[in-house]
Amino acid sequence: MTVDQWTELKAHFEMARRTEKCYAEVLLYGMYENQINLGHLLFLRLILADVQKVNKAFEAKDADQTKLLKDLMTLLSSLVKKVVIPTEQSDVLTCRLEDHLNPKPYLGYLFETYVYNVKAQKTDGFSLADEAVKRESSIRFITTLVDQIRQRLPDNITVLQKTSLLSVENSLCAVTELLIPLLEAMAMPPETMEKIQNQGSKITLLGWKPISPT
């Protein structure tokens, strides 16, 4: 909403600082006057839209539990990819991002286009120093977000990643993936693993009727 009404809000606080002479209005107008701040909000909107999408998936009552972790890992991977050097092969769960940061990553079409256009206009409310600060803070926002997501992941994340093998989509597929990687991660006896895999391979031979969206 702030992004969509940027011009109107800027005009409002400009008028307010003149008429009410309130310190808060002066600060807010200064924020809106600095044009790079709009670019930063365009960047944040892009990132937070992806985060909100994953949050809603976890809040859904009929969500496929085996797919939720995949959605979270996809978000984590996309965030890491935005700030690391493209040629770097990094483990999204363990790598220290500060050692692999791209010095000038692409921060989204709207952000980059906005900055380019403002530069071309050569307006007073924009400086290269401001751009550098916002780029740095945008990168720092992503690295902090990645760290926060990592801290909330369970210790047995590698086992949970394999639970997607139990998804309805995989179980009822004509060519199913073997359950062995998951069973091995759970340290099951070989005889038990063989029985479970054998039973799993027969699932597609049974008649199934969908009873939920998952």
* pLDDT per residue rounded down to tens, the chain (214 residues): 577 776 666 676 667 777 777 777 767 666 667 677 888 888 999 999 999 999 998 888 877 777 788 888 899 999 999 999 988 888 888 889 999 999 889 999 999 998 888 888 877 667 788 889 889 999 999 999 999 999 988 777 777 666 666 666 666 665 566 677 777 777 788 888 888 777 777 776 666 666 565 5
- Give me the residue spans of the domains in the chain: 1-33, 35-153, 160-205
DSSP letter string, the chain: -TTTTHHHHHHHHHHHHHHT--HHHHHHHHHHHSTHHHHHHHHHHHHHHHHHHHHHHHH-TT--HHHHHHHHHHHHHHHHHHHB-TT----TTT--GGGSB-SS----HHHHHHHHHHHHHT-TT--HHHHHHHHHHHHHHHHHHHHHHHHHS-TTHHHHHGGGGGSHHHHTSSSPPPSHHHHHHTT--HHHHHHHHHHHTTGGGS-----S--
Give the residues across from 67 on adjacent strands: none
d(CA 38, CA 2): 9
Listed in sequence order, the residues at least 6 apart from 50 whose beta carbon sits closer than 8 Å to its beta carbon are 75, 78, 79
180 vs 195: CA distance, rounded Å: 11
Determine whether 139 is exposed, middle or buried from the number of CB atoms within 10 Å of its CB (0-12, 13-18, 19+). Answer: buried
Q: Quick check: 75 and 54 in contact, CB under 8 A?
A: yes
Cβ atoms of 76 and 149 within 8 Å: the answer is: yes
- pTM equals 0.71
pLDDT given for residue 12 in this prediction: 66
Residue given tokens 């290269």 in the structure block: 128
